[in-house]
Structure 1
Amino acid sequence: MRYVKKLAAIAVSALSVLSALFVSAENISNGVSPETVAAEIPYSSFYAGNGAELSQDVFDGISAAAYKNETGYIEAEFDIKTEGDYVVSVKYYPLEGKGRDIEFGLSIDGSPVGEESSNYSLPRTWKDDFAERKQDAQGNELRSSQSEVYKWKTVTLRSFEAISDSYSTVSLSEGRHTIRVEAFREPFAIAAFYIHSPETVEEYKRPAEKNNTVFSEKFEAENTYEKTQSTLYPTYDRTNASTSPNDPVKIRLNTIGKENWKTPGQSISWEITVPAAGYYCLGFKARQNFVRGISTNRRLYVNGEVPFSQALEISFPYSLNWYTKKFANDDGEPYLVYLNKGSNILTFEVVIGQIADSIKTIQSAVAELNGLYREIIMITGVSPDIYRDYYLEEEIPDFTERFTRLADTLENEAKEIRRLMENNGGETSTIDEIVYQMRDIAKKPETVTERLDRFKSNISTLSSWALNMVEQPLELDYITVFTENSKEYKSKAGFFKQIVFGAKAFLGSFSADYNSIGSVYSGDKSTNLRVWAVGTGRDQAQIIKSIIDNDFSPQTGIGVNLSLVSDVSTLIQATLGGKGPDIAMMVPNDTPVNLAFRNALTELSQFEGFDSLKSEFYDSAFIPYTYENGIYALPETQTYPMMFVRTDVFAELGIEVPETWDEFYDAVRFIQRKNMTVGVSYDQSFFESLIFQRGSTLYTKELDKVNFDDSRVADAFYQWTSLYTKYGFPVSFDLYNRFRTGEMPLGFSTLAFYNKLYVAAPELRGLWQMYPMPGIRQSDGTVNRTVSSTGTGIIMMNGVKDKNAAFSFMSWWVSADVQASYGIEVENVMGPLARYETANREAFYSLPWSKDAEKTILKAWSSVNAVEQVPGNYFVTRNITFAYRKVVYDFNNRGVLNNHVEILSKYGREINSELTRKATEIEKYIK
């Protein structure tokens, strides 16, 4: 037995060596030349630490280490023989996860790789599910769903937070080093890391060899081979008769790109087939009408490699119209690209271009300006006395020198940008304005107080401008491939063709049904359901319809006609007029009860399977939809407040993140001492949360009166309003921009704000965190963090013919699998900003939240409650607003501090009178 174990150990060791040798040989076809590799770190060298789960397995025929649990770190040691500057590449295999890019931290000897950040991302690979376009019953082409392609890839690392097209470099001395990888998001398998010299790309040299083949062909850009993100789906353009293919009335998915294809690192690949090996010319029918006055850039790869340096940055100038861009030099002489006989893969990657260094410098200046602004308001406050001299040049070290230095920096970058753009137009006017202001402040420091708002606005505008300059949107219609001795394919609509096209489009607009989505079923209405989607977008509605047609209808044989309705008032009017749907989805949570007491809805708990379905949700999700012990909606979404903290500012001020309201007020004192503030927007759910945390409720047990005579409710009202009277919090504010500058380092908002910060404020990565709302410490030491929630639900009308079929659809729609599919598909199409806030607990785990965010959300979600909805709830909301304004506005506008108990009691009596009147009306006329 001992002998067998020894043989097994030798075999495993041999396999590891063979695997390492195999990887080295394979590097040539993956962009890493073996002769440039200084150190290869195979998967077998890594060990796990701090809870990381690392397991060895074989993926697609290659042995690797799987890093699955997004926790801890893995490390390995390696030797460098020659001191120098190196880049790092990794051969990886994406494992099944939530469909987002893989994100991880990388350091060598405890120091980050790269100057700007140690955070990196590895793209996944996606493809369209069907190559041929499908059409709905109205003749419109349907967008294909996206599937992930699991394959090995080798990439050289470039920080996703860096403003650069260059790879991250690291200086290494001769000797032994330690590499550490910390997974942040999504699982992946590692075959090896490579430490190697940067690859060089040679200048273009015109080949002596000639291609005698006569060939000219266009390849539709919307027919992709692969892409790095699922949001890179085909789009359509009906504005021009020359787009290929097109229809003046029906939707034809005839282009790709637009605003979805703008983030550096995104790439799209096409399969190009040619009859013979040789050199070919390339052309692109494109439109860049998204970023005014500048060019956007792409990097060309042919069969995985950049053919020559001129392909590193291909510029597409701004134009309102479509144009053909030939891949050629300034004299119009085409660059010849070698293609193999048969299939070739062309790839376009988004790059920033030469402007990257300037943008990086500007963003660094913006960060410094934000810090300078915070230093100023810590002395002056956000609304300084313009007649007072704050002696800022004495209070703030190097005040005028910093303004002058930053103005010089920005002015130099503006000149460089104008040089690169080859014009002196208004593209740098944002920089010019703040430079002028900064120079004037440096000369006259005492004027900063009267210009503080404008200074802050200019910083915010400059930050947004720099972010927009990083984005590189482009739309492609088709790609042309042709030999020098043939003509390039060109599609251009003449004047009369365009006139006819426009006329057909105009006439077609009178007959097109813009409300119905996708296929329309006819026949016996007992087997077809009329479903309205309320207040959502067309993209979301098309996704819903696609899931219905691909899943629900084939399984059940029930047809669903889906229509898009602008708002809930249309639904209510149509329902009460007898013209409503069978089912309405995405209905606000205050609507079901208002329809239920009018006998317009079907009670849902009577149906088979309801109890098992209910277990997939928190009980709080059903509270707003309950009326007289019946349930009249199934929950779709559930939204609740979270706390957002600028952790860098808190660390700078020495403040702990608050868990209780007492700690919150301690933090507020520190924040306000530095003339900063806190963001608590007017929101009734905030008041409701404070009531719940005190163990009380908004309504009495019988739900016939508001509970305003309860001292705990009065205390909650006082705490809410005193934030604006006693503590002077702003009543209205822009949380996003003020959080970015740091002047509002603490604020409350929903999960949507998390996604906005993550996507739209990349400069704040690592400088903020999301936490549950503070609570009240109980006698047993626990903290009551209960918060109120809102949401949307799906309802069944009373007049539906086949109620079992309707409930079958409703229960299918809110089930974990379907809610997860919908949430993932919405994000695939619209990006992380559209992340779905599902009420289904099981579906939530399938959505692409990071591990840290998921943990925080689940902690908050477990404490979520909701307020019951009652007939006349509109009057409750209205009078709570009146009570809030009476206290807060009277104090802010007139300096009058009203007694909060008296105010609350006064409006409580008015509410109770209306609720009593409503109950009498229901009893008399409806029941």
Structure 2
Amino acid sequence: MIDETFTAETGIGVNLKLVNMGTLLPATLAGQGPDVAMQIGNDLPVNFAMRNAAEDLTRFPDFEDVRDRFRPSAMVPYSYGDGVYALPETQTFNMLFYRKDVLQELGLRVPQSWEDVSEMLAVLSKNHMQFGLPPVVQGTVQGENVPPNSLYAALLYQNGGQFYRNGGRESDLDSRTGIETFKAWTEFYTDYKLEKEFDFANRFRTGQMPVGIADYTTYNQLSVFAPEIRGMWGFAPIPGTPGAGGSLDRSVPSGGSGVVLLSKAQDKDAAWTFMKWWTSEQTQTKFGREMEGLMGAAARYPTANIAALDSLPWPAEDYASLKRQFEWVKGVPEVPGGYFTGRHLFNAFYKTVNGGVEARESIMDYVQYIQDEIRTKRSEFGLPR
């Protein structure tokens, strides 16, 4: 695609390399890094920006026009101070998957609120079935950034909470909302004995777990992996929390990947031109369709470009559900020392669920570690504390 359209139209040559992401920081520090890094995690751009290794994209005069290609939530993890340090490539979030045949057999409806979920759990338990929540897992390799658990983040946002206060200078998980949310999250595992780790696609296919919350890209996997239940399942926005006026708040956090312009790039204007081309509607649509054409529905691309996502071959009913949930998607901000948030949220969870320590005590203990790390990093980078 680069040879056919980008280089042919702009005359800018591109040397594309597939590398292990672990080499990006050492290569950048050694002055051997790329001009542009693609498909990188949400945590990296701001961490590079703190170290003056990523370019602020707001310096380009047409940045605001490019920003409009994406939902505001997709830009949140890449924003730091007054700058923006990456463009979104993909954006994913959770949806509620359900087996139509099993729910009909049990006389259950798709849960709309968390109260509905509590009622459903009792019925599922009596029938030796399970409800799947996003797994609570540690990083696969040492030192890997662990994002905050997506269910905790959803419950926190639905109750009007936030991860950080005072402009990112402090963790807000020790607030009343943060503590109550942590208690509600852990009760699913202490009171209802839900499983912490499992293979959702397999259990959903067999009917052991007829309802569950999972990343919307699980749709692609199920379309290919479970042809025997085709037409017998669907997905819907996740359960919500009643707000003012009785309306349900279905807020859900997003994940994804981005493309960053490194500050040591030789020709920043050419690199920016490439980033604009890569995240454009035409390129993202073509890439998504070609991926799906080569690899089938399992490779349907979760592009962050709003117009490009509209162009991908989703069934109308399913895409309508996806768009309803998209209205509630919120980004999780990245702050100096923020990598401790997901890590210690995980530690506090296991201290309560496995160790039997009271939820308030667990989260308060570990928030102290988060506060200390944020202070340390702000001091290291010369930021106001």
| TM-score (normalizing by structure 2) | 0.94
1:632 is matched with which residue: 73, 82, 85?
85
Stretches of 4+ aligned residues off by more than 6 angstroms: none
- In the other structure, the counterpart of 1:899 is 358
Is the aligned partner of 1:887 residue 2:352? Answer: yes
Who is 1:860 aligned against?
325
Aligned pairs for 1:256-267 within 5 A: none
The structural deviation recorded for 1:596 is 0.5
Provide the residue aligned with 1:729 in structure 2. 194
**Residue matched to 2:98:** 645
Indicate whether 1:830 and 2:308 are aligned.
Answer: no
Alignment of structure 1 residues 113-132 onto 2, 5 Å: none
Amino acid at match of 1:601: A
CA distance in 2, matches of 1:626, 1:737: 37
- Aligned residue runs from structure 1 range 311-390, under 5 A: none
- Which residue of 103, 113, 122 maps to 1:660? 113
Listed as ranges, the matches of 1:137-156 within 5 Å are: none
Secondary structure of 1:687's aligned partner: helix
What is the aligned counterpart of 1:744 among 205, 209, 213?
Answer: 209
| Alpha-carbon distance in 1 for matches of 2:204, 2:324 | 24
Return the offset for 1:830.
1.4
Q: Name the structure 2 match of 1:594.
A: 47
Whether contact under 8 Å (2:112, 2:238) holds in the other structure is: yes
Quote how far apart the aligned CAs of 1:739 are: 1.1
Whether 2:9 is the aligned partner of 1:555: answer yes
2:354 is paired with a residue whose SS is: helix
- Tell me how far 1:696 sits from its aligned partner: 1.1
CA contact (8 A) 2:98 2:233 kept: yes
Query: 1:578 aligned to 21, 24, 31, which one?
Result: 31
Is 1:917 equivalent to 2:376 in the alignment? yes
CA contact (8 A) 2:224 2:298 kept: yes
Moved more, 582-591 or 607-616: 607-616
What is the deviation of 1:656? 1.1
Mapped to 1, the partners of 2:47 and 2:349 lie a distance apart of 25
Is 1:846 equivalent to 2:306 in the alignment? no
User: 1:875 & 1:782 partners in 2: Cα distance?
Assistant: 34
Deviations 1:339-382 (A, max 9, x none): xxxxxxxxxxxxxxxxxxxxxxxxxxxxxxxxxxxxxxxxxxxx
- 1:746-785 to structure 2, matched below 5 A, reads 746-785=211-250
Tell me the SS of whatever aligns to 1:791.
strand
Paired residues, number: 371
SS in 1 for 2:14: strand
| Equivalent-residue separation in structure 2 for 1:716 and 1:629 (angstroms) | 30
Residue matched to 2:136: 682
Question: Aligned to 1:651, what secondary structure does the other structure show?
Answer: helix
Equivalents in 2 of 1:778, 1:875: separation in Å?
A: 30
Structure 2 gap ranges (5+): 138-148
Q: CA deviation at 1:720?
A: 1.3
Task: Map 1:436-585 onto structure 2 (within 5 A).
Answer: 547-566=1-20, 568-585=21-38
How many angstroms apart in 2 are the aligned matches of 1:744 and 1:877? 26
SS at match of 1:913: helix
Secondary structure of the corresponding residue to residue 303 of structure 2: coil
In the aligned structure 1, how far is the partner of 2:363 from the partner of 2:64? 39
Name the CA distance, whole Å, in 2 between partners of 1:661 and 1:868.
25
Give the conservation status (yes or no) of the 8 Å contact 2:253–2:329. Answer: yes
Identity among equivalent positions (%) equals 40
Q: Tell me the CA shift for residue 829 of structure 1.
A: 1.2
Deviation of residue 803 (structure 1)? 1.2
Q: Distance in 2 between matches of 1:887 and 1:611?
A: 45
Matched, 1:819 2:284: yes
Deviation at residue 701 of structure 1 after TM alignment:
3.5
Tell me how far apart the structure 1 counterparts of residues 373 and 365 of structure 2 sit (CA, whole Å): 13
Q: Distance in 2 between matches of 1:862 and 1:679?
A: 23
Q: In the TM superposition, what is the alpha-carbon distance from 1:740 to its structure 2 partner?
A: 1.5
CA RMSD of aligned residues (A): 1.2
Rounded Cα–Cα distance in structure 1 between residues aligned with 2:110 and 2:166 = 36
The secondary structure found in structure 2 opposite 1:605 is: helix
**Could you say what secondary structure the match of 2:18 adopts?**
strand
Structure 1 counterpart of 2:241, which letter? I
Cα distance in 2 for partners of 1:589, 1:656 equals: 35
Residue type of the alignment partner of 1:922: F
Alignment deviations for residues 171-223 of structure 1 (CA, whole Å, 9 cap, x no partner): xxxxxxxxxxxxxxxxxxxxxxxxxxxxxxxxxxxxxxxxxxxxxxxxxxxxx
CA contact (8 A) 2:338 2:370 kept: no
Aligned-residue offset at 1:753: 1.2
Distance 1:673 1:695 in 2: 34
Q: Distance in 1 between matches of 2:69 and 2:197?
A: 37
Higher relative contact order (CA 8 A, sep 6+): 2
SS at match of 2:56: coil
Amino acid at match of 1:593: V
Q: Distance in 1 between matches of 2:253 and 2:362?
A: 23
- Counterpart amino acid of residue 98 in structure 2: V
Alignment match, 1:791: 256
Matches of 2:82 and 2:124, distance apart in 1: 47
Displacement after TM superposition at 1:872 (Å): 1.9
Q: How big is the shift at 1:757? A: 1.2
Cα displacement (A) at 1:823: 0.7
TM-score by length of 1: 0.40
Deviation, structure 1 residue 709:
2.2
Partner Cα distance (1:695, 1:754) in 2: 29
Secondary structure at the aligned position of 1:640 is classed as strand
Counterpart of 1:511 in structure 2 is: none
Q: Is the 8 Å Cα contact of residues 352 and 362 (structure 2) preserved in structure 1?
A: yes
* Partner residue in 1 for 2:337: 872
- Equivalent residue of 2:332, what SS? coil
**Aligned match for 2:75, one of 615, 618, 622:** 622
In structure 2, give the amino acid aligned to 1:725: T
**Residue type of the alignment partner of 1:689:** A
**2:126 equivalent among 668, 673, 688:** 673
Tell me, yes or no, if structure 1 residue 808 matches structure 2 residue 262. no
Larger Rg: 1
Partner of 2:145: none
CA distance in 2 between counterparts of 1:647 and 1:910 reads 44
Q: Which whole-Å CA distance do the structure 2 matches of 1:807 and 1:707 have between them?
A: 36
> 1:238-277, aligned counterparts within 5 Å?
none
Supply the distance in 2 between the matched residues of 1:709 and 1:562 (Cα, whole angstroms).
45
Which secondary structure does the structure 1 equivalent of 2:212 belong to?
A: strand
Distance in 2 separating the partners of 1:820 and 1:862: 21
Q: Deviations over 1:802-854 (max 9, x none)?
A: 21111111011111111111111111111111111001110001111111111
Distance apart, 1:917 and its partner CA: 0.6
Higher relative strand content: 1
**One-letter amino acid of the counterpart of residue 858, structure 1:** K
SS in 2 for 1:731: coil
SS of corresponding position for 2:365? helix
Q: Tell me which residue corresponds to 2:140.
A: none
Relative to its length, the structure with more helix (as a share) is 2
Report the equivalent of 1:311: none
For structure 1, the 5+ residue unaligned runs are 1-546, 891-895
Amino acid at match of 1:905: M
Q: Measure how far apart 1:874 and its partner are.
A: 2.2
Question: Using the alignment, how far apart are the partners of 2:324 and 2:228 within structure 1?
Answer: 27
